[in-house]
Amino acid sequence: MDLTEHHDDRPGAPAGVPGPPALLVPYVLALTVLAAVALCAVTATNRWGALLASPALVPAVLLGAAAVAGELRPLAIPRASHAHEAVAVSTPFVLALVPVAGLGPALLVQLAASLADDLRQRRGLLKTAFNSSQYVLSISVCGAVLGALDGRGVLDGPLDVGPRDLLPLLAAGLAMVLTNRLLVAGVVAVASGAPLLLVLRDDVRWSFTSQVVLLSLGALAAELAGTGVVALVLLCLPVAAIHVTTAVAYQHVRDASKDPLTGLGNRERLFDELEAALRSGRDAGVVVLDLDHFKDVNDSLGHPVGDELLRAVAARLVAGQDREQDREQDRDAVVCRLGGDEFAVVVPDGGPAAAEAAAHRLQEALQEPVRIGALELLVRSSAGVASAPDHGADAATLVKNADVALYRAKLERDGTAVYSPDLSVNSVERLSLLADLRGAIGTGDLAVAYQPQVDLATGRLDAVEALVRWNHPVLGPVPPDRFIPLAENSGLIAGVTAHVLDTGLAALARWRADGHDLRLAVNLSARHLSDLALPARVTAALAAHGVPAGSLVLEVTETGLLADPARAQEVVAALRALGTSVSVDDYGTGHASLGYLRGLEVDELKIDRSFVGAMLTDATDHVIVRSTVQLAHDLGLRVVAEGIEDAATVEALRTLGCRVGQGYHLGRPTTSQEIGDRLVAERLPRVPTQASTTPAGG
Ligand code: C2E
Ligand code: CA
Ligand code: CA
């Protein structure tokens, strides 16, 4: 007869009768009692013998078979761009059965068909009870209306159906469908908490036309039944045709809302889902998730691997959400791919807390490395969360604000960020900065300054650290602390590092050509430590400038080493195998255990300036500096003290046995020209001490 459920996988529409809400069981129970009474009354008063003795028996059996077949093979009517409505094609045949066979047989046939379908679909008791009851009730209403309009007893067995019966039949059919819709809308409203009228409106809009078409077929079938079986069989042909064409249409609609690469929903689907959840008045939220450094995978390993990775990530994300939903089946979050390496999930209810929890779940699902052929890729992601009503009332605003939050999450390297209005202002500013930085790489706007590292015993230049400088055409100098995190999170860092390495090595080659031997230190970002192609690029840069590997120091932070320890170890080992040394920058500020650092095998520790700067005033800091120097020596590592701002600190460090220092007192970051001049000056005969440590400008 009619629809029992929304066969869609939308978050809002429960699949048949969903789980727990308090009113659900009483509602279904009440319907079941009513239906049982109606069923008893009908079976008791129906004149069964009349049908068995009538020539209508064969057409009735045929109609019954068609009704069962129609129930088991429902029509998929495309509804929104992704959902569909399962309309059982039993409706017309059951309607025809009411006059052709009588109300009793019509009821029993539909009941049998519905039970068979529920059994086949393994629906639960509550769902089955509801489905059966609503059928019994709506067919009873149909019989009552037909009896009233037609004036003949629908319980008396087969009736002759003539042209004048068609309108009453249609009206009875309409009453049947309306009853059914009302009962279904009731259960949806009870289960989802959405207002009944809203559910009904949504429902009627989509299904009314298909219902009218089916009912007319039913009326026709009733009249044809009188002419025998052949006409009825012929009638099945258009029904079958409708079946095929709607199935094709449905497939088209589905394809249009699918991401072809991953099979997930696409952007349209996301918006539909979100709108649907919002329409039902719930606190729907959205999580936008973006893979960190996906571009690198694509660039270094090729697009096929990139595609494979996206598919694997998609599967993980879906599995991650599904596992969670075992508990609450009707609240399923739908995973979509927005394009590129951006994914999104609609969280249909629960506000920001639920959305944030979903974000964490998604990220957890990506914890384990992804295996692609022989490769094992570590996937990291950032997520932004926005949720109605606080962060927006419509899908477009929510997705936009989740994007803003995502952007913040990337900057803060925080994993997940929830939207807040003050993020927007900041983000626009940072976005434009990022765009400018993209342009600055390769133009003269991005320069390199060199800060001396001085031998504390002799006062001579031992090394220089290359520090990037950005002179923004409008903003003026932008400090690296402001744009390096941006670059790190946008993939631009590779270009920045390449530029600094190239410029620094060129300067070093010039100093070396002038007969000066010193090291050049270049900062690496955490993400370089997961880049297995880095050693080859360093080799190429060294070769391009004719600089021996031993003259290059690569500075990495503890935090960088810890982000992906196994991979970092591999990259560090490869760099050291080239002959370059590796230095642990900002030593003491991260959380690396000493044991870990020993296992890693590096060449140098740079004591962070926060300890060095306060070592004369803070006893703890003094102890930290002293024991770090000791540790470095015990492990055979070079140690560099950073942030030396006065002569007293130089003296104290010298006493502790620290050989190399860096800081404003020993020289500010400056141009390669000035470093060159200083190197020349160091060669000239001079009075010992201070002369060589005159701070240079910078
Ligand atoms: P860092 O690697 O710890 O670099 C040392 C920073 O300390 C530099 O700041 C330097 O100017 C500053 N400094 C040097 N001596 C003193 C001192 O005596 N007192 C104080 N208070 N500060 C001192 P800068 O150039 O602003 O760089 C900041 C950070 O930006 C760097 O910290 C580094 O993490 C990052 N960075 C700079 N250049 C690059 C680069 O080319 N690549 C990467 N990945 N990061 C860079
Ligand atoms: Ca550094
Ligand atoms: Ca440092």
Beta partners for residue 342, in sequence order: 290, 339
Residue nearest to atom 8 of ligand 1 (CA): 467
Considering the domain architecture, whether residues 445 and 391 belong to the same structural domain is answered as no
pLDDT in tens, 279-326: 877 888 999 999 887 877 777 778 888 899 999 999 988 887 765 544
Q: Which atom of ligand 1 is nearest to the CA of 466?
A: 41
State residue 427's pLDDT score: 65
pLDDT of residue 331: 46
Local confidence band at 530 (pLDDT 50, 70, 90 cut-offs): confident
**Is residue 34 located within the same domain as residue 126?**
yes
pLDDT at site 694:
47
Give the whole-number percent of the chain exceeding pLDDT 70: 88
Q: Are residues 676 and 571 in the same domain?
A: yes
Q: Side by side, which strands form the sheet with 416-418?
A: 334-339, 342-347, 285-291, 381-387, 416-418
Same domain, 390 and 526: no
Same structural domain, 52 and 176: yes
pLDDT band, residue 500 (cuts 50/70/90): very high
Mean pLDDT over 204-221 rounds to 78
Residue ranges making up the domain that contains 400: 267-419
- Per-residue confidence (pLDDT) for residue 36, from 0 to 100: 95
pTM over 0.75? The answer is no
Average pLDDT over residues 196-203: 74
The pLDDT of residue 513 is: 96
Ligand that lies nearest to the alpha carbon of residue 499, given by its number in the listed order: 1
The share of the chain scoring above pLDDT 90, in percent, equals: 38
Find the 582 Cα to ligand 2 centroid distance in Å.
11
**Where residue 4 falls among pLDDT bands split at 50, 70, 90?**
very low
317: domain CATH number? 3.30.70.270
The whole-number pLDDT of residue 592 equals 61
Q: In the listed set 233, 254, 275, which residue is the last one of a domain according to the structure? A: 254
How far is residue 280's CA from residue 331's CA, in Å, rounded to a whole number?
A: 13
Calculate how far, in angstroms, residue 501's C-alpha sits from the geometric centre of ligand 2.
13
Of 419, 453, 481, the domain-final residue: 419
One domain, residues 414 and 439 = no
What CATH number is given to the structural domain containing 611?
3.20.20.450
Tell me, yes or no, whether 75 lies in a domain: yes
* Mean pLDDT (whole number) for 132-138: 93
Question: Residue 386 domain-assigned?
Answer: yes
The Cα 478–Cα 500 span in angstroms is 16
pLDDT at 14: 37
Ligand 1 within 6 A of 588 CB?
no
* Residue 204 CB neighbours (<10 A): 13
Residue 508 lies in a domain: yes
Contact 180/1 with Cβ under 8 angstroms? yes
Q: Does residue 586 line the site of ligand 1, with CB under 6 A?
A: yes
The pLDDT of residue 511 is above 90: yes
pLDDT band at 389 (very low <50, low <70, confident <90, very high): confident
Do 221 and 273 lie in one domain? The reply is: no
Q: How far is ligand 2, taken at its centre, from the CA of residue 655, in Å?
A: 24
pLDDT at 566 over 50: yes
Residues 579 and 646 both lie in one domain: yes
Looking at the domain assignment, is residue 3 inside a domain?
A: no
- Considering only CA atoms, which residue is closest to atom 14 of ligand 1? 663
pLDDT for position 333: 67
Domain assignment of residue 674, yes or no:
yes
Instruction: Tell me what pLDDT residue 18 has.
Output: 39
Domain at 208, CATH number? 1.10.1760.20
Residue-level pLDDT at 547: 97
> pLDDT at position 76, please?
66
Q: Whose CA is nearest to atom 4 of ligand 1?
A: 467
pLDDT tier at 228 (50, 70, 90 boundaries)?
confident
583 Cα: distance to centroid of ligand 2 (angstroms): 9
Contact criterion met (CB below 8 Å) for 445 and 473: yes
Report which protein residue has its CA nearest ligand 1's atom 19: 643
Give a yes or no: residue 45 inside a domain. yes
Q: Are strands 552-557 and 519-523 parallel, antiparallel or unpaired?
A: parallel
Q: What does the alpha-carbon distance between residue 62 and residue 60 come to, in Å, rounded to a whole number? A: 5
State which ligand 1 atom lies nearest to the alpha carbon of 448.
41
Helix H or strand E segment including 337: strand 334-339
| 11: pLDDT strictly greater than 60 | no
Which pLDDT score, from 0 to 100, does residue 598 have? Answer: 65
Alpha carbon nearest to ligand 1 atom 37, residue: 467
Going from the Cα of 697 to the center of ligand 3, the distance in angstroms, rounded, reads 19
Which is higher by pLDDT, 671 or 353? 671
Is pLDDT of 632 > 80? yes
Q: Which amino acid is located at 507 in the chain?
A: A
Q: Is the pLDDT of residue 8 over 50?
A: no
Domain boundary residue, one of 394, 419, 444: 419
Total number of domains constituting the chain: 3
Residue 112 confidence (pLDDT):
93
- Per-residue model confidence (pLDDT) at position 648: 97
Whether 333 is in the pocket of ligand 1, judged by its Cβ within 6 Å, is no
pLDDT (0 to 100) of residue 200: 76
- Cβ–ligand 1 distance for 464 under 6 Å, the answer no
* Residues 209 and 315 grouped into a single domain: no
Mean pLDDT confidence for 368-388: 85
CA of 641 to the centre of ligand 1 (A): 13
pLDDT given for residue 214 in this prediction: 81
Q: Do 437 and 387 belong to one domain?
A: no
For all residues of the chain together, what is the average pLDDT? 84
Please report which confidence band the pLDDT of residue 330 belongs to, taking 50, 70 and 90 as the band edges.
very low
Q: Is residue 457 part of a domain?
A: yes
Beta strand spans in 457-551 (E): 461-472, 476-478, 519-523
Q: Are residues 219 and 364 in the same domain?
A: no
Query: Which amino acid, 560?
Result: G
pLDDT at 572 over 80: yes
Predicted local distance difference test score (pLDDT) of residue 663:
97
CA separation for the pair 343, 264 (Å, rounded):
9
Task: Give domain status of residue 689, yes or no.
Answer: no
Assess whether 399 and 542 both reside in one domain. Answer: no
CB of residue 608 inside a 6 A radius of ligand 1: no
pLDDT at residue 16 greater than cutoff 80: no
Closest ligand to Cα 669? 1
Distance CA 403, CA 495 (A): 25
**pLDDT at site 583:** 96
